[in-house]
Structure 1
Amino acid sequence: MSSKYISSSVHISGLMLTPRITQENASTVAELVLLGFSSHPQAEIPLFFLFCLVYLVNLSGNTAVIILVIIDSCLQTPMYFFLCHLAFVNIFYTTVVVPKMLFNLLTSRKVISYKFCLVQTYISLFMGAAECMILAVMALDRYVAICYPLRYLLIMNQSACVQLAVGAWIISFLASVVPLYMTIAPFCGPYVIDHIFCEVPVLLHMVCGDTSLQETMMVTGASGTLLLPFLLIILSYLNILVAVMKMNSAEDRKKASSTCTSHLTVVVIYYGTGMFMYMRPKSLYSAEGDKLISLFYAIINPALNPLIYSLRNKEVKRAMRRVRKRWVVSQSQKTPS
């Protein structure tokens, strides 16, 4: 290694993992060791193919949702407008995380540049906050649709939907990226991240000195981006439950419940794992356990979302049949007789 760098090596399972630190400024880390699944080397190749498959399902499923909403006029409603935002978050979030993780599964030198580690941290926090806000807005949409059905399209008009979406993105940015930027602190060695990607709870263990300020900011930010939207979702569904119970027709109750089941499934999976990861003290950190939790909300859940919304949603199934029928008709017209 060039004299320009001061090396600090870490040996794990026979591998030498060497982060780089610039000599001009010892506090500036050029590379960090990203362990991932190094403690289970025999599982890395199977995990590579598994996560490749999950990532492809995520990309194809969420892209299909966006395209389907765009080309089918029957799906151009407030609910599916917000679903497109959720699909975009799922694609962007995993694209920042998964490719680097897949690359490290295949290489013996499992490192990540300091700058890209910060990019992962900022974007994962931003996208996570945005997903919380969008899920809350979707719950609000379901509340208006079920509790005020005759005024639904008047209340949730195009302007209101755009304002809610823009507001969700702006609040997510202000409640996640800005506090993180203001409290980011230098790292201390060893520069080793025992995780699958860079995110705030894990990086707290590398911050020099007292991290009480960073922990307080993380819990405060999590309260704004996790707890408050979750409370809004709970209140929305309590009102929905009361409205459903007042319905005279069993068919109406079944229809109202079916429109909420998919959203509730996503909320329970995402908020359950997210709250455990971000709303707990640093002392409860567990490397192996946190890797599994992060896999759920950063990789597996985004791939499940389009499946949950499409397999349990009759409108999406009908839209898929309409699009497929139009495609078959267009292909038959192109075929020469």
Structure 2
Amino acid sequence: MKTVLVTGGSGFIGRGLVKDLLARGDRVTVLTRDVGRTQAALPGARVVSWSSDRPGPWFEEVDGVDGVIHLAGESIVKRWSEDARREIVRSRIDTTRLMGEAIGKAKRKPGAFLCASAVGYYGPQPGERVLDEDAPPGEGFLADVVVHWEEAARAVEEQHGVRSVQLRIGVVIGEGGGALDKMIAPFRLFLGGPIGDGKQVTSWIHRDDVVGLTLLALDNEAVRGPLNVTAPHAATGEELARAIGAVLRRPSWLRVPEAMVKLGMGDAAEIITTGQRVYPRRAEALGYQFRHARLAPALESIFSR
């Protein structure tokens, strides 16, 4: 049994992770800004209020736990106004630095610090280029954010000797939330199809495997540094649209012009008009067995529930 502190526990990934931690007998404390709603969503967890932008009594919750899993972060799927950019940076980089400060002040430091990161680290890349954890960072706003985010996470190990893992999470699909809810909406209206030429690559992963790889990183002391949290078989936009259409029994041929997406989202359009083929090389080396390695069966498992 482990004692685990989780931020972002009320989010799409966090809910699944906390439930699995509790199911295996771990004691879980969730830091949240909305105690009542989080407690109702996660019975069995201990829920504590926190202020993600300043120190507070919540610092004491870090003391003596076996692991800290830091998942909190503002959504990037919106127009990147100056205010939105500042909040994206604050909610990722600044909160990670603040968590590092809390860990530094703990008398009994955690055994591990697992911090969410993102495949945005690699920036937009050609679909034929396969990226493992040793690939260099890309360029652009998101890549810059993730580079500094990971630097803040690594500092916890460099400054305080706490094993640090950076979870480079891809596009997460699953039942009841995540990217899939937004993806399927046009298909339900018979308006589904790929973006532009459909050649951009989406490095996706089922929420079950995000949870599975996070638990692996928590339990296995050999895991440190970046870990690609993606399925081994990425999909092009064309393949993704075809698979969603097939599962929903809807057409998938109506293409959405890139110009229309850019008009609506501005610079943030790169999230869906570009991509990168990220491969989970370290997960493979660690012997992790994916529950959902291929897209079509993964989608079928979601919609059959």
Per the normalisation by structure 2, the TM-score is 0.28
Q: Which has the larger radius of gyration?
A: 1
Of structures 1 and 2, the one with the larger relative CO (CA 8 A, separation 6+) is: 1
More strand by share: 2
